[in-house]
């Protein structure tokens, strides 16, 4: 007769063994740069969403301020996309992704693609990636 520990949950999902790959100093710097720039992309996306929401309600009053801040955030997002793209895809492709991220509709798909690639690279090395990017203390 087997005895189970008193506080086990029979419906708990199976634990997945996370693998930690030993990092060299070059890989650590690479992952830190990817994590930092990915966090910049996610924060810029959050701020752009808030600006779009404020555009709906404060259109007449603060039109110039909203448009100027939207332009600044678009450039900042393009910078972060370029930096992550250069790290992951190479110089030409990274700069191309940064430029394409400035387009209104296609830019969202580029942001998703680059963010997903950065997430996959960080998770490959056993780093947890949350809603606002990777925890830099794990790297």
Tell me: the pLDDT tens digits for 60-104? 788 888 888 888 999 999 999 999 999 999 999 999 999 999 987
First vs last Cα of the chain: how many Å apart? 44
pLDDT of residue 100: 93
Rounded Cα distance, 101 and 82, in Å: 9
More confident residue, 7 or 110: 110
pTM over 0.85: no
State the pLDDT confidence band at 130, using cuts at 50, 70 and 90: confident
pLDDT of residue 19: 58
Count Cβ atoms below 10 Å from residue 101 Cβ, excluding itself.
Answer: 25
Closest by CA to 34, choosing from 107, 94, 106, 93, is 94
Rounded Cα distance, 84 and 106, in Å: 18
Tell me: the pLDDT tens digits for 13-53? 777 655 566 667 788 899 999 999 999 999 988 988 888 88
pLDDT of residue 91: 92
pLDDT of residue 35: 93
pLDDT of residue 95: 93
Burial of 102 (0-12, 13-18, 19+ CB in 10 A): middle
| Burial readout 37-62 (b: 16 or more C-beta within 10 A, e: otherwise) | bbbbbbbbbebbeebeeeeeeeeeee
pLDDT of residue 3: 60
Radius of gyration, alpha carbons of the chain:
20
Residue 132 DSSP symbol: T
pLDDT of residue 37: 93
């Amino acid at each position: 007769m087997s005895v189970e520990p008193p506080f086990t949950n029979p419906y708990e999902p199976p634990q997945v063994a996370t693998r930690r790959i030993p990092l060299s100093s070059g890989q650590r710097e690479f992952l830190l740069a990817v994590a930092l720039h990915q966090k910049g992309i996610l924060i810029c996306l959050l701020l752009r969403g808030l600006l779009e929401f404020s555009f709906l309600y404060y259109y007449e009053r603060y039109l110039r301020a909203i448009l100027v801040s939207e332009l600044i955030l678009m450039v900042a997002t393009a910078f972060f996309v370029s930096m992550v793209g250069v790290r992951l895809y190479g110089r030409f492709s990274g700069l191309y992704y940064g430029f394409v991220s400035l387009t209104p509709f296609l830019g969202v798909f580029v942001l998703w693609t680059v963010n997903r690639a950065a997430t996959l690279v960080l998770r490959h090395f056993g780093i947890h990636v949350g809603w606002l990017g990777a925890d830099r203390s794990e790297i």
